[in-house]
Amino acid sequence: MKCDIEEIKSKRSYAGPTGYFSGGFRAARKKLDEIEPIQKDPAKYDLLILAYPLSAGKMPPAVRAYTVQNKTKLKNVAVVSVSGSGDEKALDGFEEATGKAKAGF
């Protein structure tokens, strides 16, 4: 795809086994991470594609923080689960974080 790309980066480290479980624990409890500053303004895009793995079946804390912080700027969003579990779970997390209704597949 020819498009702008921005990585959502947590300021929290999830390295190693302890980090792996900590990430799942925080995701399951729908916690928000502090994230690195975003360079691209999501309001300038007609379509935003959010691709992320599910953590404990939930949206990762950094992605949840991004969506909560930018929910008024998001126009059209496509959500893609890259973890092989259900995309429906990924959509549930987005809908919950932003208050925007999800559309079908």
- Encode pLDDT of 13-65 as tens digits: 999 999 999 999 999 999 999 999 999 999 999 999 888 888 888 889 999 99
From residue 98, how far is each of 15, 17, 21 by CA, in Å? 28, 30, 25
Q: pLDDT value at position 89?
A: 60
- Which one-letter DSSP state was computed for residue 73? T
pLDDT of residue 50: 87
Q: Model pTM?
A: 0.82
What would the mean pLDDT of 92-100 be, rounded to a whole number? 72
Distance, CA of 47 to CA of 42 (rounded, Å)? 9
Q: What is the pLDDT of residue 52?
A: 87
For 35, the 3-state DSSP assignment is strand
Helix (H, G, I), strand (E, B) or coil at 58: strand
> What is the b/e burial string over 22-53, where b = at least 16 CB atoms within 10 angstroms of the residue's CB?
bbbebbeeeebbebeeeeeebeebeebebebe
Cα 25 to Cα 102: distance, rounded to the nearest angstrom:
25
